[in-house]
């Protein structure tokens, strides 16, 4: 069932993103007098299509991993003389720039609308209260203690753990002092703490921004009750189901979820006997955790099970809500922040500060889409907004084949006063296809490695 939900979720996500992106191209092309021959969501054989009064074919194709807008263009096929004024290649360079830039712009607009809806409807976030501080860690040496509430990172206010993580991830590669602001438990004013860091989070896979500083977020006691069971993994093969409460592992009593996690992680490849309760009945099963290798080559056990949601105290939840007008500015600001963070991450990946193994392909997108859909509408909309921004940024990269590559050609045309030669564009096309193909293969490879 989880696999089906993931597939449905990713189809919805990619369908929305692609439709908005291509509609941006389509809408501006029509306004610039360009004839659009086809608007397709998906690739391959059309499953459904119709032609409007302008002669545009709208289609939904069999492979839902992209889409395209095909415009009248003399470089692709002969154009009748009476139709040449509607060809894309006959339009001014500024009109062509507008048509190409409209796709990524539509993705950024979709993100703004999504964030605006979240801010107006209101979202519940978790207060960034410290649950534990590891001895001798940078946070401990700086004076942070259990119960402190983080209020700022490098002078920027934070209101939730999401804010904290985004701020810390943006500091990958930071050397020197890292400034945190926190309000000690029972205090009315925040204090400043300076944490010395060196090559912060560099080449960590995946980045562990809080653990690296020695900080563990506060969380309620989670009972050892299964909330999710991954199809095909050890827990599912052993017959465990959501709602089962683990009572003991190899005869050792389990009182909370972390006790179960620790025993599983410490015994990769070893058979474990689990006693559990289902509908009041005591049962027993045996399973063997699979081996997972971390970035430091440490092996841990994994059974493919998640914890059931626990009740958070009201004082640990914070409602974030804005009025309709104020939410516009907040949505634009959040979209800008996420755009800059995405660009910064790409730059750090190119310079080696971030491991390329953090690339994600369709498998990871499908998994996260499903997880966010199961987590609730606000999580799903937030993920949709983030992915829309990522798609917009990716398409603006100056790589031939992508929108950014075409924009680069048009900027050169503006400077030179004449178009880039067909020979140069053909060479760029081959280079661009090789670059994008390599990137896609790398992302798919790392997807498969995560599954393995």
DSSP letter for each residue of 167-192: HHHTTTT--EEEEEEEE-TT-SS-EE
Q: Is 22 a catalytic residue?
A: yes
Phi, psi of 69 (to 5 degrees): -120, 120
Phi, psi of 174 (to 5 degrees): -65, 135
Q: Which of 89, 101, 77 is nearest to 33 (CA)?
A: 89
> Strands 191-197 and 176-183, how do they pair?
antiparallel
Identify the pLDDT of residue 320: 86
DSSP designation for 76: T
Average confidence (pLDDT) per 10 residues, the chain, 452 residues: 70 86 96 95 88 92 85 91 93 96 97 95 90 93 93 93 90 91 90 92 84 91 88 91 93 90 91 93 93 77 87 85 94 94 89 80 72 76 92 93 94 92 90 89 81 65
Q: Which of 22, 156, 162, 315 is catalytic?
A: 22
Residue 189 makes CB contacts below 8 A (sequence gap 6+) with: 183
Give yes or no for a contact between 79 and 89, defined as CB atoms under 8 angstroms apart.
no
Q: Which of 381, 275, 364 is nearest to 13 (CA)?
A: 381
CA distance 115 to 331: 5
What is the phi-psi region of residue 138: left when phi exceeds 0, alpha when psi lies from -120 to 50, beta otherwise? alpha
pTM: 0.81
Identify the pLDDT of residue 143: 93
Residue 334 makes CB contacts below 8 A (sequence gap 6+) with: 115
Residue 418 makes CB contacts below 8 A (sequence gap 6+) with: none
Q: Which of 245, 296, 291, 246 is nearest to 267 (CA)?
A: 291
Residue 197 makes CB contacts below 8 A (sequence gap 6+) with: 138, 174, 175, 176, 177, 178, 212, 213
What ranges make up the beta strands (E) of 206-254?
A: 215-217, 226-229, 245-249, 252-253
Give yes or no for a contact between 391 and 17, defined as CB atoms under 8 angstroms apart.
yes
Identify the pLDDT of residue 451: 67
CA distance 89 to 85: 9
DSSP designation for 202: T
Give yes or no for a contact between 334 and 415, defined as CB atoms under 8 angstroms apart.
no
Identify the pLDDT of residue 374: 67
> Strands 245-249 and 252-253, how do they pair?
antiparallel
Say which residue the tokens 């501080």 belong to: 133
Would you give the distance in Å from CA 438 to the centre of its chain? Answer: 20
CATH architecture of 226-310: Roll (2.30)
Identify the pLDDT of residue 27: 97
Which residues of the chain does CATH 2.30.42.10 include? 130-217, 226-310
Would you give the distance in Å from CA 27 to the centre of its chain? Answer: 27
- In three-state secondary structure terms, 138 is helix
Residues linked to residue 179 through DSSP beta bridges, in sequence order: 194
- Length of the chain equals 452
Phi, psi of 71 (to 5 degrees): -110, 155
* Per-residue tokens: 144: 């942070």
Give yes or no for a contact between 34 and 71, defined as CB atoms under 8 angstroms apart.
yes
Give yes or no for a contact between 27 and 102, defined as CB atoms under 8 angstroms apart.
yes
Q: Which of 289, 288, 404 is nearest to 346 (CA)?
A: 404
Identify the pLDDT of residue 295: 60
Residues linked to residue 299 through DSSP beta bridges, in sequence order: 293
Phi, psi of 276 (to 5 degrees): -145, 165
Give yes or no for a contact between 449 and 364, defined as CB atoms under 8 angstroms apart.
no
In the CATH hierarchy, which fold is given to the domain comprising 130-217?
Pdz3 Domain (2.30.42)
CA distance 34 to 85: 8
Residue 249 makes CB contacts below 8 A (sequence gap 6+) with: 260, 263, 264, 272, 273, 274, 275
Q: How many CB atoms lie within 10 A of CB 391?
A: 22
């Amino acid at each position: 069932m989880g696999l089906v939900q993931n597939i449905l979720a990713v189809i919805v996500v990619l369908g929305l993103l692609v439709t908005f992106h291509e509609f941006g191209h389509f809408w501006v092309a029509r306004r610039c007098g360009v004839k659009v021959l086809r608007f397709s969501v998906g690739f391959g054989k059309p499953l459904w299509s119709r032609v409007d009064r302008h002669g545009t074919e709208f289609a939904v194709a069999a492979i839902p991993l992209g889409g395209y807008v095909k415009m009248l263009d003399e470089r692709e096929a002969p154009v009748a003389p009476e139709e040449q004024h509607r060809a894309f290649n006959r339009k001014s360079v500024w009109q062509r720039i507008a048509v190409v830039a409209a796709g990524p712009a539509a993705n950024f607009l979709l993100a703004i609308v999504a964030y605006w809806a979240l801010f107006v409807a209101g979202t519940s976030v978790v207060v960034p209260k410290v649950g534990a501080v590891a001895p001798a860690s940078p946070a401990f040496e700086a004076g942070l203690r259990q119960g402190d509430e983080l209020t700022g990172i490098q002078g920027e206010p934070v209101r939730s753990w999401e804010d904290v993580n985004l701020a810390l991830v943006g500091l990958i590669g930071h050397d020197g002092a890292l400034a945190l602001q926190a309000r000690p438990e029972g205090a009315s004013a925040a204090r400043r703490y300076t944490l010395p860091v060196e090559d912060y989070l560099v080449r960590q896979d995946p980045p562990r921004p809080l653990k690296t500083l020695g900080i563990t977020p506060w969380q309620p006691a989670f009972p050892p009750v299964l909330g999710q069971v991954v199809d095909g993994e050890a827990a599912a093969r052993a017959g465990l189901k959501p709602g089962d409460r683990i009572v003991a592992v190899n005869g050792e009593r389990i009182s909370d979820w972390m006790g179960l996690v620790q025993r599983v992680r410490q015994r990769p490849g070893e058979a474990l006997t689990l006693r559990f309760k289902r509908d009041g009945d005591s049962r027993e099963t045996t399973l063997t955790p699979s081996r997972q290798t971390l970035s430091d080559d440490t092996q841990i056990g994994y059974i493919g099970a998640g914890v059931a949601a626990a009740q958070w105290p009201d004082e640990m939840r914070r409602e974030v809500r804005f009025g309709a007008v104020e939410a516009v500015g907040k949505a634009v600001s959040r979209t800008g922040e996420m755009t800059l963070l995405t660009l910064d991450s790409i730059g750090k990946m190119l310079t080696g500060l971030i491991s390329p193994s953090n690339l994600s392909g369709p498998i990871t997108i499908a998994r996260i889409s499903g997880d966010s859909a199961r987590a609730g509408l606000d999580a799903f909309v937030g993920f949709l907004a983030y992915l829309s921004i990522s798609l917009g940024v990716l398409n603006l990269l100056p790589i031939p084949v992508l929108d950014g590559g075409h924009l680069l050609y048009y900027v050169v045309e503006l400077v030179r006063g004449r178009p880039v030669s067909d020979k140069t564009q053909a060479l760029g096309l081959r280079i661009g296809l090789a670059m994008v193909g390599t990137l896609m293969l790398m992302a798919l490879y790392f997807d498969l490695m995560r599954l393995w």
